[in-house]
Amino acid sequence: MLIEQAVPRVREAVRTAREGLVERESLVEAIVLAAVAGEHVLVIGPPGTAKSEAARRVARALGGTTFEYLLGRFTEPNEIFGPIDLRRLREGAVEVETAGMLPEAEIAFLDEVFLGSTAILNTLLGVLNERVFRRGSTVKACPLRVCVGASNALPDDDALAAFADRFLLRCFVEPVGDPFLEELLEQGWGVQGPPPGPVPGAMTALDTLSAAVRGVDLGPARGALAHSVRLLRKAGVTLPDRRVVRVQKLVAAAAVLDGRTTAHVGDLWPIVYAVPGAQGQSIAREALGELLKASQNAALSAAAAEASGGPLARAARVVEAGEAVLAARPRGDEPALLDAWTRRVEGVAREIDASFNPQAMPESLSSLRSRVAQVLTG
C-alpha cells in the first residue's frame, strides 16, 4: 500500500475512534501516533476517566488483535503471557501457550501497570523494547504495535520509574471540565448501538506508515529539535539522551501522518508528550511556546493543539469541530432541533471570535467563519 493510500485510512480510523469521546480526542491521537512510531503510551489519571475506553476504541477502529488486563499485586505471569504447556513440561521443556495472550496481541492495554510483579515487569521489558517474548525455551516474536499502560499516578520507586521510562509518551487526563459536562451527559445517556467496526485496511495502512517513518528526512527539523532540547534544559526540564533520540521517531511519525516524508518545525510538538511529568509538560509548553506556534497536523489536530497550544494547531482543531457541527444540520424544519443546532453554530462563532484575530486567521478558519455567519444571518 502506498503512503498516499494509507494516510486517509489511518485518519478515518482516528475519526472513528474519537467519535463520542469527550475531551479524550488527544489521547486517542497520541495512541495512534505512538503506534505509527513503534512506541508506547503511559496514561496517568484518576479512575473513571475513559483511559481504557480510548485504547479500546483505537484497537477497534484499527482492527488489530487486542489484549487487555487489570494487573494486581497477585497477578501471575501466566495471566498475561499464557500458561505453561504441561505436556511439554512433563518432557522436561518449559514452553508457554501464548494463544490469545499478550505475546500475540497487536494492541495491548494494561491497567494499573505498575502493580505487576517483578517477574511480569521484567518479561514485559523484552516485549516492549524488542517485541520479543522470552520465557523458558519459548522465544516468540511479538506483533505488538503499541502498548498503552495506565495508572492513577506515577511511581515513586526508582525501579518502577526505570520501567516507566520505556513508555515514551505520557498523557495526563483529568475529569471532564465544566464546559463539556452537558456533552458528557448527552453522550453517556445516548442510545448505545453496536460499536463501529474497524476501518477496512486500517492495520495494513498503519504498518505502511510505520515503515515510512524510518525514511523520513529529519534534516529540516533536526536543528529546531536540538534547540528545543536546549530551551527545555534552560527551563529546568532535562530529558535523558535516550528520550531525546527517540523523540525523532515521534517527529517523523507526525510528519508521515500529515502526509509528508520530510519533517519541519511544525512537527516538533510531540516532544511535549515525551516530557515525563505533568508539571514538566506545562513548563515545556511555556518554554517552547514560540517554537511550537507553527505546530499543526491534519490527522492529529487535537494532540497537536494540546501539546503545543499553538495558534495553527488550535485553528485546525476549531475548523475540524466546526465542520462537524455544520454537517450535523438536522433534516426537516422541526423548531426545537433547529434551535439546538443553531446554538451549537453560535458556540463555534463565539470560540472563533474569542480566540483568533480576524486579520490573522488562517484561510481555512476564515472560510469556516464566513459560512457560520451565513447560517446565523440566513
**What DSSP assignment string belongs to 259-309?**
T-SB--GGG-TTHHHHSSSHHHHHHHHHHTTTGGGG---SS-HHHHHHHH-
CB 74 within 8 A of CB 196: no
140/15 Cα distance (integer angstroms) = 33
- Residue 207: the pLDDT is 95
Tell me what the pLDDT averaged over the chain comes to: 87
128/356 Cα distance (integer angstroms) = 42
Interval 2-20 mean pLDDT:
89
pLDDT at 191 over 60: no
- Residue 212: the pLDDT is 95
**Residue 139, beta-bridge partner list:** 134
Sheet (strand 146-151) strand order:
66-70, 107-111, 146-151, 41-44, 169-172
54/17 Cα distance (integer angstroms) = 7
The ranges assigned to domains in the chain are 3-175, 214-308, 316-377
pLDDT at 271 over 80: yes
Question: Where residue 112 falls among pLDDT bands split at 50, 70, 90?
Answer: very high
Q: How many CB atoms lie within 10 A of CB 168?
A: 22
- Residue 264: the pLDDT is 94
Asked whether the CA dihedral 359, 363, 364, 366 is positive or negative, the reply is: positive
CB 255 within 8 A of CB 220: no
- Residue 145: the pLDDT is 95
Query: What is the per-residue pLDDT across 31-75, written as a single tens digit (0 to 9) for each?
Result: 999 999 999 999 999 888 888 889 999 999 999 899 999 999 899
Q: Could you give the maximum distance between any two Cα atoms of the chain, in Å? A: 81
Query: What is the per-residue pLDDT across 135-175, written as a single tens digit (0 to 9) for each?
Result: 877 788 999 999 999 999 888 887 788 888 889 999 998 88
pLDDT at 222 over 90: yes
Q: What percent of the chain has pLDDT over 90?
A: 48
Which of 83 and 40 is assigned the larger pLDDT?
Answer: 40
For residue 124, give the C-alpha cell. Answer: 514485559
Which of 136 and 132 is assigned the larger pLDDT?
Answer: 132
- Residue 179: the pLDDT is 52
- Residue 345: the pLDDT is 86
**DSSP per residue, 160-187:** HHHHHTT--EEEE--SPPGGGHHHHHHH
277/320 Cα distance (integer angstroms) = 29
272/283 Cα distance (integer angstroms) = 9
117/75 Cα distance (integer angstroms) = 7
For residue 25, give the C-alpha cell. Answer: 480526542
Interval 170-189 mean pLDDT:
76
224/230 Cα distance (integer angstroms) = 10
Q: What percent of the chain has pLDDT over 70?
A: 94
CB 140 within 8 A of CB 102: no
pLDDT at 354 over 80: no
Q: Which CATH class is domain 3-175?
A: alpha beta
- Residue 256: the pLDDT is 96
Interval 214-221 mean pLDDT:
94
**DSSP per residue, 84-129:** B-HHHHHTT---B--TTSGGG-SEEEEETGGGS-HHHHHHHHHHHH
pLDDT at 257 over 80: yes
Interval 234-246 mean pLDDT:
93
Q: How many CB atoms lie within 10 A of CB 342?
A: 13
**Lowest mean per-residue pLDDT among 28-42, 98-112, 323-337:** 323-337
What pTM was estimated for this model as a whole?
0.82
